[in-house]
Amino acid sequence: MGQDIRGKIAYITGGSSGIGKATAHQFAKEGVHLGLIARNQKKLEKVQNELESYGISVVSYSADISNHNQVKDAIQTFEQKLGKADILINNAAISDYGNFQDMDEEVWKHIFEVNVFGTYHMLKEVLPHLVSKQKGDIINISSSNGLKATAGSTAYSASKFAIQGMSEALMQEVRRENIRVFTMNPSLVATELAFGDELETKNEDKFMQPEDIAEYITAQLKLNQRIFIKQSAQWATNPF
């Protein structure tokens, strides 16, 4: 028998768009209370309004995860208004592509500040919640680019490889506290991050959709507490 996730409390970074938003919707349908972080307050509020119709508690907080103080404030707010987290979805990230020689140092560093240090800040603040409960789930979203790099993605790939290493090491540390750390590595998913302004025109059913990833995330969390999937890759069946 698996487990019910109804009534649990999940914090999701990047809950206003793409995979994070789809996961928030899926969780809300399952009766999970939600703390959502992203920078754009208007987009967050729109998603919050949609989610409240499911009858769960939702708190959204506009924060840049690359800023540790903003993350601290967000997590304190979630703790006061929702309670300590049972589930943390480290999903927010940015991407930028270009040949190594052409990419400015500032851009390169910023990708690390958001993707790697942003995840670090979230873990630093939320892990104590899970440790205090001696139970909990962390899902870190890396990428197929975090397993196999491609030309033009030095910064994004390096940041996602860093997530693999951080995630694997953390998993080994905290499984002794009954905390499950899942690392996911989706290939192309039809979101703004992948398609930018062309999302509307290129969003064909042959590509994985954010809802597919949300279903996978939910299914993983419902596994019996004694099992978890330490690393997985999600591929489109026939994207050609």
Q: Which of 125, 191, 209, 221 binds ligand NAP (CB under 6 A)?
A: 191
Nearest residue relative to ligand NAP (C-beta): 18
- Binding residues with ligand NAP: total (CB under 6 A): 31
71 touches 62 (CB < 8 A): no
Name which of 50, 68, 60 is nearest 13 in CA terms.
60
Measured from the CB atom, the residue of 2 and 239 that comes closer to ligand NAP is 239
Q: Return d(Cα 123, Cα 140) in angstroms, integer.
A: 10
Interaction between residue 188 and ligand NAP (CB under 6 A):
yes
Instruction: Indicate the helix (H) or strand (E) that contains 52.
Output: helix 41-52
Q: Which of residues 5-44 bind ligand NAP (CB under 6 A)?
A: 13-14, 16-20, 37-40, 43
Q: Return d(Cα 35, Cα 58) in angstroms, integer.
A: 6
- Judging by beta carbons within 10 Å of its beta carbon (0-12, 13-18, 19+), is residue 218 exposed, middle or buried? middle
Q: What's the maximum distance between 2 C-alpha atoms anywhere in the chain? A: 53
From the CB of 76, what's the least distance to ligand NAP, in Å? 16
Measured from the CB atom, the residue of 46 and 133 that comes closer to ligand NAP is 46
Measured from the CB atom, the residue of 144 and 178 that comes closer to ligand NAP is 144
List, by residue number, the catalytic residues: 156
Binding site for ligand NAP (CB under 6 A): 13-14, 16-20, 37-40, 43, 64-66, 91-94, 114, 118, 141, 143, 186, 188-189, 191-194, 210
